[in-house]
């Protein structure tokens, strides 16, 4: 019997270990799915530097995008961006501590995505298929989505105990209802202008965060290593 029991125990142990491992993998998978992105473990400095480079690239492209947009909208389009439009995300980054500001960046990126998509749709109906504006809008949308994912990963890495709220912290900025053609032109101009301003702020913010957060964490890690 004992032998039998002995034979049973290892099977049970292996089964439990496998179950535990499977559970852990499931949790990790669910966690990744909930975040919408698979994050790779990277040092703080390099991941922020990577995001900073991407932000600079998108910002540079956004300047050109806005210029192209204005050229594509006909006469007097220079003045379109001065008109006031509601429901377009504000370019300002809010928050007091780094975690809040990083979360604000992430939320803004997510908030701008539907607006960029909407502008792309609207301009598809106003521009020839060969227009470079359409490809640039599409590129801006894709890169912004990638930037949002990177910020998400950095946030999870730096602040593992702080969950990402499901809704943007700055409040909903839903895309506007149906607009006439003139309103579409004005809307697109305002969206791209604020998008450009937002990226400029993100560039500054990531530079600051890199010096603040990564230095502090490195120092903290080094201190732990000493003990």
Is residue 120 within the footprint of other proteins (CB under 8 A)? Answer: no
75 contributes a contact to other proteins by CB under 8 A: yes
Q: How far apart are CA 174 and CA 88, in angstroms?
A: 8
By CB under 8 A, is residue 135 in contact with other proteins?
Answer: no
Decide: is 138 part of the binding site for other proteins (CB under 8 A).
Answer: no
Site for other proteins contains 200 (CB under 8 A): no
Q: Give dist(CA 187, CA 196) in Å, integer.
A: 14
Paired tokens of 21: 């491992």
CB half-sphere exposure, 94, CA atoms < 13 A: 8
In this complex, which beta carbon is closest to other proteins, that of residue 180 or of residue 224? 180
The residues near 141 (Cβ < 8 Å, ≥ 6 apart) are 113, 116, 117, 120
Given 42, 87, 99, 127, the residue binding other proteins (CB under 8 A): 127
Q: According to the binding rule CB under 8 A, does residue 177 interact with other proteins?
A: no
Among the listed residues 147, 186, 192, 213, the single contact to other proteins using CB under 8 A: 186
**180 interacts with other proteins by CB under 8 A:** yes
Binding segment toward other proteins, per CB under 8 A, in 53-61, 68-76, 86-94, 214-222: 68-76
Q: Which is nearer to other proteins, 11 or 130 (CB)?
A: 130
Find the shortest distance in angstroms from Cβ 113 to other proteins. Answer: 23
Please identify which residue in 3, 10, 129, 166 interacts with other proteins, judged by CB under 8 A: 129
Going from the C-alpha of 167 to that of each of 104, 105, 128, 151, the distances in angstroms are 11, 13, 36, 16
Terminal CA-CA length for the chain: 51
Residue 173: partners with Cβ closer than 8 Å, 6 or more residues away: 87, 88, 89, 111, 115
Residues making contact with other proteins (CB under 8 A): 72-77, 79-80, 82-83, 123-131, 180-182, 185-186
């Amino acid at each position: 019997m004992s032998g039998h029991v002995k034979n049973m125990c290892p099977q049970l142990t292996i089964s439990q270990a496998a179950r535990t491992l499977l559970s852990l993998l499931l949790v990790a998978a669910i966690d990744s799915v909930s975040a919408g992105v698979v994050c790779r473990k990277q040092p703080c400095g390099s991941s922020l530097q990577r995001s900073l480079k991407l932000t600079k690239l998108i910002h540079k492209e956004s300047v050109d995008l806005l210029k192209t947009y204005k050229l594509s909208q006909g006469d007097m389009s220079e003045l379109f961006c001065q008109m006031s439009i509601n429901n377009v995300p504000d370019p300002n980054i809010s928050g007091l501590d780094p975690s809040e500001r990083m979360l604000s960046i992430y939320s803004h990126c997510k908030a701008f995505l539907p607006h960029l998509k909407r502008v792309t749709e609207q301009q598809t109906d106003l521009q020839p298929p060969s227009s470079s504006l359409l490809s640039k809008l599409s590129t801006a949308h894709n890169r912004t989505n990638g930037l949002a994912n990177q910020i998400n990963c950095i946030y999870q890495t730096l602040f593992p105990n702080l969950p990402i709220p499901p809704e943007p912290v700055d409040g909903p900025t839903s895309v506007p209802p149906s607009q006439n053609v003139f309103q579409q032109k004005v809307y697109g101009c305002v969206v791209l202008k604020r998008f450009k301003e937002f990226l400029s702020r993100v560039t500054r913010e990531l530079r600051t965060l890199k010096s603040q957060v990564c230095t502090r964490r490195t120092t903290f890690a080094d201190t732990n290593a000493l003990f």
